[in-house]
């Protein structure tokens, strides 16, 4: 039998962790085998990230990164529907309306977490099973490994709510092949399943039903290197839908030529000139988006294409604060999430009315208030 003191030493670490593994907690942080496991646990809210979750994940990620006994980090969601459907937009909206500091703190915390994922020295494996949008993309896409399944639904739908594809979107989107990232960012187009891998957003494609076994095998690895983790993930790769062509393949030529235009007005003009069913559909979509968001997004991606992740996140923080002070974000959230009438009244209502001077101002440094990474 264990001596009482020894027993206490065995139990204590578990007690320290137990508040984190309480099944009602919004995020579970557990050390299992060789891995630190982050479980986003707000299934009713599709695991959307709120401020308290961000505040818990960041220090734990940093601790695991330094811990010689932790060899990899796994992040996943509960509930079977979503990995993480985004950030807690409603809370930010409420805060913005009353001038609460959450509009600064949330983005600052979220972008610091995105940077921690992007700079993590330990292999970082995101199991992006189900809906993965906005904030969910931010805590997965910058890591070493992103495992998509047939249930994965990826999108960056921010231009529809008067925002822009943040969380480092300005870094990864322009780096996707051709102009696919520009297209996804401006239209909010959704990609499903294997297409998420084919677009270069995921690194692996595994059947959803095999994820528990994959996780178990990852946790059981003995002091694995990044190569060991990669080998294991490769051994789980599924061949389902492998022969199916990428959903955007037939449109890639058009996407590359139209979305390489220098301004939003020019993109719209090219879509009109093209006149194909595909072009008309994109035109209809773009016409629903916030004109301000579209202009900010196009410039964000053009600048982000040659920036480091850190510089992109600093730029995006400036843009987030400009959006918090503007009109379209609150109107977009009202129309899409609150009243759900899907008829936002954007100000200004037309691309031509969003001046270059206004856009320039949104990108200006914030002095002492700039994001520090």
Q: Give catalytic residues, as residue numbers.
A: 87, 135, 158, 166
β-bridge pairing 191-192 and 153-155: antiparallel
Rounded distance, CA 85 to CA 51, Å?
15
**φ and ψ at residue 312, rounded to 5 degrees:** -65, -45
Rounded distance, CA 89 to CA 92, Å?
5
- Please give the structure tokens belonging to residue 78: 């509960």
Of 360, 361, 363, 358, give the one whose Cα is nearest residue 347.
358
Of 160, 162, 166, 97, give the one whose Cα is nearest residue 328.
162
What is the DSSP track for 333-348? HIIIIIS-------SS
Instruction: Mention every residue, 6+ apart, whose C-beta is less than 8 A from residue 28.
Output: 20, 21, 22, 37, 38, 39, 41
β-bridge pairing 82-84 and 131-133: parallel
CA torsion 36-39-40-42 (nearest 10°) is -150
Rounded distance, CA 103 to CA 331, Å?
16
Instruction: Mention every residue, 6+ apart, whose C-beta is less than 8 A from residue 372.
Output: none
């Amino acid at each position: 039998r264990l001596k009482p003191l020894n027993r206490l030493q065995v139990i204590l670490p578990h007690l320290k962790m137990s508040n984190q593994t309480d099944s009602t907690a919004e995020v579970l942080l557990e050390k299992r085998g060789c891995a630190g496991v982050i479980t986003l646990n707000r299934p009713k809210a599709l695991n959307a990230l709120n401020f308290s979750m961000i505040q818990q994940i960041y220090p734990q990620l940093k601790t695991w990164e330094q811990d010689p006994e932790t060899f990899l980090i796994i992040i996943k969601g509960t509930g079977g529907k979503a990995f993480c459907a985004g950030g807690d937009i409603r809370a930010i909206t409420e805060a913005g309306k009353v001038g609460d500091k959450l509009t600064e703190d949330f983005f600052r915390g979220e972008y610091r977490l995105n940077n921690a994922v992007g700079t993590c020295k330990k292999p970082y494996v995101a199991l992006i099973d189900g809906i993965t949008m906005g904030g969910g993309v931010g805590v997965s896409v910058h890591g070493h490994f992103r495992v998509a399944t047939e249930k994965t639904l990826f999108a960056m739908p921010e231009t529809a709510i008067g925002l822009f594809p943040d969380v480092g979107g300005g870094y990864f989107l322009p780096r996707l092949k051709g102009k696919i990232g520009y297209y996804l960012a401006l239209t909010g187009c959704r990609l499903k399943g294997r297409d998420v891998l084919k677009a270069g957003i995921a690194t692996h494609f595994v059947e959803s039903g095999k994820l528990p076994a994959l996780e178990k095998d990852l946790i059981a690895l003995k002091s694995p290197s990044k190569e060991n983790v990669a080998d294991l993930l490769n051994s789980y790769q599924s061949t389902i839908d492998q022969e199916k062509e990428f959903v955007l393949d037939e449109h890639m030529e058009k996407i590359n030529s139209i979305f390489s235009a220098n301004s939003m007005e020019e993109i719209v003009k090219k879509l009109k000139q093209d006149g194909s069913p595909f072009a008309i559909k994109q035109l209809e979509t773009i016409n629903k988006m916030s004109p301000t968001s579209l202009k900010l997004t196009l410039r964000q991606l053009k600048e982000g294409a040659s920036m480091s992740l850190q510089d992109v996140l600093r730029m995006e923080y400036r843009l987030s604060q400009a959006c918090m002070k503007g009109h379209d974000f609150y109107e977009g959230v009202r129309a899409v999430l609150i009243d759900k009438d899907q008829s936002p009244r954007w100000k200004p209502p037309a691309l031509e009315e969003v001046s270059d001077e206004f856009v320039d101002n949104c990108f200006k440094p914030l002095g002492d208030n700039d994001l520090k990474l």
